[in-house]
Amino acid sequence: MQVRFWGTRVSIPTSITAGDVQEKTVNALLAASGRTFADATEARAFTEQELSFAGRATYGGSSSCVEVDPGAGDFIVCDMGSGFRAFGIDAFRRIGEGRPKRFNIFMSHLHWDHIMGFPFCGPAYDPETEINFYGGHADMEKALRRQQETISFPVPFDFMAAKINFHPLTPGETYEVAGHSVQLIRQYHDNDSYGYRFEKGGKCVVYSTDSEHKDDDPDADQAFVEFFDKADLVVFDTMYTLAESLTMKEDWGHSSGMVAVDMCHRAAAKRLAMFHHEPIFDDATLESHHEDTARYEELMRDESALEVLCAYDGLTVDL
């Protein structure tokens, strides 16, 4: 099983600016001062060994879209932010290699940043494609149709040629979808959101975004600890710093890296992927946020280490 990140931002897609690129270039040139490279391979090795991730690359700017890929059979995707467009392009490649034209989309919630990619997904226009939507909201179809009304978008929902089905799910139930055992949990967010637990072949992935965890509700926290139990990877909303989540941005429906570490430690999860990045954070700020969270994990660790990753557009995690 692999988990692929096609979009990792929140609220609105965020592009890297010309100034950002120039600043990275200047810093890289300063770090390489006095060195020569025989070819691109040596130069690339220098960037990978001597520069930080933020110095040589970018976390990206597409909004939420994460794929759970067993390597064969149906496609499984969580949310359809702007990263869903890139996913669709790559899906065409894999369909050409023999993958079936069946897509299972699990929706955390229906806010615009999580559905905006659907009108730009190429396979949705193929009449041989089947798309199954799953989620805790009964109005999934209404939300998707509304964003493609004439006043908002030039292509109506009914122009999508794929066979599209909607499957409302109930928290506490276990479902079998494309060979995976799937459960969902209701999360604290405006108009609710839902987290998902996928299990197959002894591996487990939890996708939990747009979820705020409040100190005054220990029973709710315990329910999430049990939901995360021994997961191989927990994809967790870490939009805010701890101070932000407890003060001016309380009740905004998001969480922090410190809360993520605490809950994953209690659940004995193996890896944490920081996700749903604040759009005003540049690459250097996100890298610092990641480093602070990883240091906190070391300080709070009792037994087994929790690997802390910071998701970026294009990251693939093997389980």
pLDDT of residue 248: 64
Res. 251: pLDDT tops 70: no
193 and 52 co-located in one domain: no
How big is the chain by its Cα radius of gyration, in Å?
20
Average pLDDT value for residue range 249-253: 60
286 and 209 co-located in one domain: yes
Res. 104: pLDDT tops 80: yes
205 and 275 co-located in one domain: yes
**What CATH number corresponds to the domain at position 296?**
3.60.15.10
What proportion of the chain, given as a percentage, has pLDDT over 90? 90
pLDDT of residue 221: 87
pLDDT tens-digit readout, 127-142: 999 999 999 999 999 9
Res. 219: pLDDT tops 90: no
pLDDT of residue 214: 76
151 and 72 co-located in one domain: yes
Res. 252: pLDDT tops 70: no
pLDDT of residue 24: 97
227 and 245 co-located in one domain: yes
pLDDT of residue 245: 59
52 and 86 co-located in one domain: no
What's this model's pTM, rounded to 2 decimal places?
0.95
Res. 144: pLDDT tops 70: yes
Look at the chain and report how many structural domains it folds into.
2
48 and 91 co-located in one domain: no
- As a whole number of angstroms, the distance between CA 298 and CA 302 comes to 9
45 and 95 co-located in one domain: no
221 and 282 co-located in one domain: yes
24 and 89 co-located in one domain: no
Three state DSSP letters for 96-115: HCCCCCEEEEEECCCCHHHC
Range of the domain at 48: 18-30+39-56
pLDDT tens-digit readout, 151-209: 999 999 999 999 999 999 999 999 999 999 999 999 999 899 999 999 999 999 999 99
52 and 145 co-located in one domain: no
Which position has the higher pLDDT, 248 or 112?
112
Res. 83: pLDDT tops 70: yes
158 and 44 co-located in one domain: no
pLDDT of residue 138: 96
